[in-house]
Structure 1
Amino acid sequence: MSPARMSVGEAFDRFFGPGTGLRVEAYDGSTGGDPDGQVVQVHSPRALNYLLTAHRSVALMRAYLADELTFVGMDEGNPYPVMVSVLNRLHARRPTVRELPELARFVREIGLHVPDLPPQEAPAPWRRLAYGLRHGRARDAAAIAHHYDVSNRFYEMVLGPSMAYTCAVYPHAEASLEEAQEAKFDLVCRKLGLSPGMRLLDVGCGWGGMVRHAVQHYGVSALGVTLSAHQASWGQEMIEREGLTGRAEIRHGDYRDVAERGFDAVSSIGLTEHIGVRHYPAYFTFLRERLRDGGRLLNHCITRPDNRHNGLLKDPFTNRYTFPDGELAGVGHIVSVMQDSGLEVRHQENLREHYARTTDAWAQNLSAHWDACVAEAGRGTARVWGVYLAGSRVNFEHNVIQLHQVLGVRTSADGDARWPLRPTWEGQSSQR
Structure 2
Amino acid sequence: MTTGTTKGRMSIAEAVDSLLQDGMPVRFTAYDGSASGPADADLGLELTSPRGLSYLVTAPGDLGMARAYIAGDLVLHGVHPGDPYDALVYLQNHLRFRAPSPSEAVTILRSLGLASLRMPEPPPQETLPRWRRTVEGLRHSKSRDAEAISHHYDVSNRFYELVLGPSMTYTCAVFPTADATLEEAQAEKYDLVCRKLDLKPGQRLLDVGCGWGGMVRHAAREYGVRALGVTLSMQQASWAKEAIDRDGLGDLAEVRHLDYRDVMESGFDAVSSIGLTEHVGIRNYPAYFSHLRDRLRPEGRLLNHCITRQHNRRQQIGAFLDRYVFPDGELTGSGRIISEAQDVGLEVMHEENFRRHYALTLAGWCRNLRAHWDECVEEVGEGTARVWGLYMAGSRLAFERNEIQLHHVLAARTVDGEDGFPLRPSW
| Pairing of 1:388-427 with structure 2 (within 5 A) | 388-412=391-415, 414-425=416-427
**Structure 1, 414-423 or 350-359: larger mean CA deviation:** 414-423
2:307 corresponds to 1:307: no
Which of the residues 1, 7, 11 maps onto 1:7? 11
Residue 319 of structure 1: which of 295, 316, 322 is its match? 322
CA distance in 2, matches of 1:390, 1:248: 34
Pairs within 5 Å for 1:28-427: 28-37=32-41, 38-87=43-92, 89-96=94-101, 99-108=104-113, 110-129=115-134, 131-308=136-313, 310-313=314-317, 315-412=318-415, 414-425=416-427
Structure 1 residue runs of 5 or longer lacking an equivalent are 426-432
Query: 2:112 & 2:15 partners in 1: Cα distance?
Result: 10
Q: Secondary structure at the match of 1:86?
A: helix
1:267-320 Cα shifts (integer Å, max 9, x gaps): 000000001001000110110100001100000000010112x2432x100100
**C-alpha displacement of 1:110:** 4.9
* Partner amino acid, structure 1, of 2:191: D
Distance in 2 separating the partners of 1:219 and 1:199: 10
* % identical equivalent positions: 59
Once the two structures are TM-superposed, the CA of residue 35 in structure 1 deviates from its matched residue by 3.3
What is the match of residue 428 of structure 1? none
Q: TM-score, normalised by structure 2?
A: 0.96
Deviates more, 1:125-134 or 1:331-340: 125-134
SS at match of 1:364: helix
- Larger mean Cα displacement after TM superposition, 48-57 or 109-118: 109-118
**1:26 is aligned to 2:21:** no
Q: Which 5+ residue runs of structure 2 have no aligned equivalent?
A: 1-5
Q: Which amino acid aligns with 2:354?
A: L
Q: Aligned partners of 1:95 and 1:262: how far apart in 2? A: 61
TM-score, normalised to structure 1, is 0.95
User: By how many angstroms is 1:106 displaced?
Assistant: 1.4
**Root-mean-square deviation over aligned CA pairs:** 1.5
Distance of 2:19 and 2:357 partners within structure 1: 38
In structure 2, relative to structure 1, the CA distance for the partners of 1:406 and 1:328 (3 Å cut) is same
Q: State the alpha-carbon separation in 2 of the partners of residues 117 and 381 from structure 1.
A: 13
Deviation at 1:103, TM superposition (A): 1.7
- The alpha carbon displacement at 1:73 in A equals 2.9
1:373 to 1:55, Cα distance in 2 relative to 1, 3 A? same
Q: Which AA in structure 2 matches 1:34?
A: P
Question: For 1:88 and 1:54, how far apart are their aligned partners in 2?
Answer: 22
Show CA shifts across 1:96-155 (max 9, x none): 455344223214355421011100001111211354110000100000000000000000
1: distance between equivalents of 2:340 and 2:24? 44
The answer to whether the 8 A contact 2:82-2:366 is kept is yes
Aligned pair count?
Answer: 421
Deviations 1:221-250 (A, max 9, x none): 000000000000000111111111121100
CA deviation map 1:330-367 (0-9, x unaligned): 10011001011110000000000000000000000000
- 1:204-226: per-residue Cα shift (whole Å, max 9, x none)? 00000000000000111000000
The CA distance in 1 between the partners of 2:344 and 2:274, in whole Å, is 19
SS in 2 for 1:243: coil
Name the CA distance, whole Å, in 2 between partners of 1:226 and 1:287. 15
- Looking at structure 2, the residues matched to 316 and 98 of structure 1 have their Cα atoms a distance apart, in angstroms, of 28
SS of residue paired to 2:83 = coil
